[in-house]
Chain A
Amino acid sequence: MNALSDGLSRFGGVYPLPVIIGVVALALIGNPSTWVTLTVAGLAMGMMIFLMASGLSLVFGLMDVLNFGHSAFVSFGAFIAASVLAAMGSWLTGSSPALNMIALLAAISAATAFGAASGWFFERVIVRPVYKDHLRQILITMGALIVAEQLLLAIWGGAPVPVARPAVLEGSVLFGNVAIETYRIFAFFLGLAVYVCLYLVLNRTRIGLLIRAGVENREMVEALGFRIDRLFIGVFMAGSALAAMGGGMWAGYQGLITPALGAEMLIIVFIVVIIGGLGSIEGSLLGAILVGLVANYVAFLMPKLALASNMILMMAVLLWRPYGLKPAVMG
């Protein structure tokens, strides 16, 4: 393990891992066009999971809150986006790319705004009474996830809900003999844009400095004169909004959603946070991309192992780095 760490540190630390996995996958797959398709699918999936997981990682790292209800924001984001898209059907499917994109942005914005508002409510009513008590956090946030799922059933029903995609993002773009879905390219660049924004906020602003410091030592941030509880609410709202945005994008990616979506995504989101390391946006991005790539490569190479692939990846990473690939605070 130490030899692996030393070797990797000479080539940029853990950052080249997706490239190494990609190269190994290319050797195993053999066909370059299939490999490109799987790689783009994995990157797009990774970016959407990153949207969902980044907020949880910050909430976990900064607030020490185990929020098992985080994926409820993913579900609500997906259903709200689906409803907005359905209501703007004529704009979505019309011939004007501008109207197509306005409909999509409206759906994503509605999901994100709902995520922020419900995040505020969730923090004040559900999480605040159980700060510093992990057992109660698990119980109450799991309970909230169940309640959220029942609310989704009551509002949208139990039948799978089809999600329309904007006409401009339907179909594929051809690169030589490789066809890449347009929606996946969009999802990748949206995720990248969110990552860049988060990176800039965390590394170039005073609020970001406070968040990074708070992840390391909440008590000391307070002793320096800052009200960390206000920071908590802001981070919780932002994390919930990002989860809902990710849910909205995921709805378009899947094309069909059910109220069980949140529970399904919960495990993946936690795996990404654990692989990446708590409180780290870079870690979440790296973990999400690894999960996306491995899920797609393994599904192609060994379909029977597809479901277990992320668990195996997590175990391998934890054996190598018990605090994750890029934790904000080294244990």
Chain B
Amino acid sequence: MSDAILRLDDVHTDIAQYRILHGVSFDVPAGGVHVLLGRNGAGKTTTLRTIMGLWRARKGAISFCHNDITALRTPDIARLGIAYVPENMGIFGGLTVEENMRLASTTGAFDDERLARVFALFPAMETFWDKQAYALSGGQKQMLAISRAIIERRELILIDEPTKGLAPSIINAMIDAFREIARDTTILLVEQNFHFARSLGRGATVIDDGHVAWHGEMSELAADEALQTRLLSLSMAEAS
């Protein structure tokens, strides 16, 4: 695919003595939401962390906008325009919402238009602007983590299981927010909630035991229950 914003080519990653990724290769096309699916322990989070340089690939190559980022340090990868929202959200609890957002801005100043967009997507951020982040609810913390990722223009946002532990009403609000964000940014989303993934994903990659088990259009996966059961031990009935 020539329009791939991110390309992983035969990526192998080890954590201590454990071999987690065994030659992961897939492309993320520019624009929209691409979903990374898989069972627990399949290697989804490791894939995101390897892209971000938080764990080093032992072998293989990762390119972003046609630049090889395999050996770059995490801060340099981030400065190329990749934002990362980890599974634990990575919120600085001792800092206020404003300070959390200010850290995510390269200059420390806010673009009024972007800030207004964040407040429109997540009104709670404006309400709790001066509040310390540890006092926010789980859903508000997730909103802050995503707000931080979009406070500046990014080419790609890596998001790890944003719906984990959230109430259904908040998950629905997240779906709307992600649709809006994906209008001008590519999102690579790790998700266990198939309903959420299916609502947003244009493309999907299924990882199993450190390998790519399937890669294609989300509509194709959503339509094939047998494939879902085989790849994810999941049926549509369970998912919805």
Binding site for B on A (CB under 8 A): 206, 209-210, 212-213, 215-217, 219-228, 328-330
Q: Known interface pairs A216-B93, A224-B78. Does A206 touch B52 (Cβ–Cβ under 8 Å)?
A: no
**With A225-B75, A225-B78 in contact, is A220–B86 under 8 Å at CB?**
yes
CB neighbours of A210 from chain B (8 A): 103
Known: A209-B95, A226-B75, A227-B75. A219 touches B103 (CB 8 A): no
16 other A-B residue contacts (CB within 8 Å) besides A213-B95, A224-B75: A206-B108, A209-B99, A212-B94, A213-B99, A219-B54, A219-B74, A219-B90, A220-B92, A222-B73, A223-B54, A223-B74, A223-B90, A224-B78, A224-B104, A226-B75, A329-B93
Whether the Cβ atoms of A216 and B74 lie closer than 8 Å is no
Cα(A213)–Cα(B99), bound, Å: 9
Given A209-B99, A210-B103, residue A222 in contact with residue B74 (CB < 8 A): yes
CB distance from B187 to the nearest CB of A (A): 16
Task: Assess A328 versus B94: contact at CB under 8 Å? Given A209-B99, A225-B79.
Answer: yes
Q: Closest approach, in angstroms, between the C-beta of B145 and any C-beta of chain A?
A: 9
Given the known interface contacts A219-B54, A221-B103, the answer about A330 and B134 at a Cβ–Cβ threshold of 8 Å is: yes
B198 within 8 Å of A (CB atoms): no
Contacts of B194 in A (CB 8 A): none
Question: CB within 8 Å of A: which of B45-88?
Answer: 52, 54, 73-75, 78-79, 84, 86
Report 9 cross-chain contacts, Cβ distance below 8 Å, ordered by A residue.
Answer: A220-B92, A221-B103, A222-B78, A226-B75, A227-B73, A227-B75, A228-B75, A329-B93, A329-B94
Judged by a CB distance under 8 angstroms, whether B131 is at the interface is: no
**Closest CB of chain B to A1's CB: distance in Å?**
21
B75 contact set on A, CB distance < 8 A:
222-228
Which of A206, A215, A216, A220 has the most chain B CB atoms closer than 10 A to its own CB? A220
Bound-state Cα–Cα, A221 to B102, Å: 12
Q: Which residues of B contact A226 (CB under 8 A)?
A: 75
Main SS at interface, chain A: helix
Given A223-B52, A224-B104, residue A330 in contact with residue B93 (CB < 8 A): yes
Question: Across chains A and B, which 6 residue pairs bring their CB atoms closest together, nearest first?
Answer: A220-B90, A225-B78, A222-B74, A223-B84, A225-B79, A213-B92
Q: Does B17 contact A (CB under 8 A)?
A: no
A212:B92 contact, CB within 8 angstroms:
yes
Report how far A328 CA is from B148 CA in the complex, Å.
Answer: 21
B94 adjacent to A216 (CB under 8 Å)? yes
CB of A217 within 8 A of CB of B94, answer no
A209 and B94 form a contact (CB under 8 A): no
Q: Residue of B at shortest CB range from A214?
A: B92
What chain B residues lie within 8 Å of A225 (beta carbons)?
75, 78-79, 106
Count B-side interface residues using an 8 Å CB cutoff. Answer: 22
Cα-based distance from A329 to B95 in the complex (angstroms):
10
Q: A206-B108, A219-B54 are in contact. Are A224 and B93 (CB under 8 A)?
A: no
* Residues of A contacting B134 in the complex (Cβ-Cβ under 8 angstroms): 330
Q: Closest Cβ of chain A: how far from B103's Cβ, in Å?
A: 6
List residues of chain A with CB within 8 A of the CB of B90. 217, 219-220, 223
Chain B residues near A224 (CB, 8 Å)? 75, 78, 103-104, 148
Q: State in angstroms the CA–CA spacing of A149 and B90 once bound together.
A: 42
Report which residue of B52, B99, B103 has the largest number of chain A beta carbons within 10 angstroms of its beta carbon. B103
Chain A residues closer than 8 Å to B93, beta-carbon distance: 216, 329-330
A225–B104 CA distance with the chains assembled, in angstroms: 8
How far apart are the CA atoms of A232 and B134 in the complex, in Å? Answer: 25
Instruction: Determine the distance from Cα of A232 to Cα of B144 in the docked complex, in whole angstroms.
Output: 26
Instruction: Say whether, besides A217-B90, A220-B90, A225-B79, A209 and B74 are in contact (CB < 8 Å).
Output: no
Q: Smallest CB–CB gap between A55 and chain B, Å?
A: 19
Within 87-117 of B, Cβ neighbours of A (below 8 Å) are at 90, 92-95, 99, 102-104, 106, 108
Q: Report the Cα distance A221→B79, complex, angstroms.
A: 12
Q: Which residues of A contact B104 (CB under 8 A)?
A: 224
Complex CA gap A21/B79 in Å reads: 51
CA distance A49 to B79 in the complex (A): 40
Which residues of B lie under 8 Å from residue A227 when comparing CB positions? 73, 75
> Which of B52, B54, B90, B95 has the most chain A CB within a 10 Å cutoff?
B90
- CA A218 – CA B159 in complex, angstroms? 19
Best-buried of B52, B73, B74 by chain A (most CB within 10 Å): B74
CB distance from A327 to the nearest CB of B (A): 9
Shortest Cβ distance from B198 into chain A, in angstroms? 28
Contacts of A222 in B (CB 8 A): 54, 73-75, 78
Q: Give Cα distance in the complex from A329 to B86, angstroms.
A: 19
Name the A residues within 8 Å of B84 (CB-CB): 223
Contact at B92–A216, with CB atoms within 8 Å?
yes
Complex Cα spacing A221 to B103, Å: 8
| Residue in chain B with minimal CB distance to A222 | B74
The interface residues of chain A lying within 8 Å CB-to-CB of B52 are 223
- Nearest CB of chain B from residue A297's CB, rounded to whole Å: 32
Query: Which residues does chain A contribute within 8 Å of B78, judged by CB atoms?
Result: 222-225
| Nearest-Cβ distance from residue A58 to partner chain B, whole angstroms | 14
A216 to B104, CA, bound (A): 15
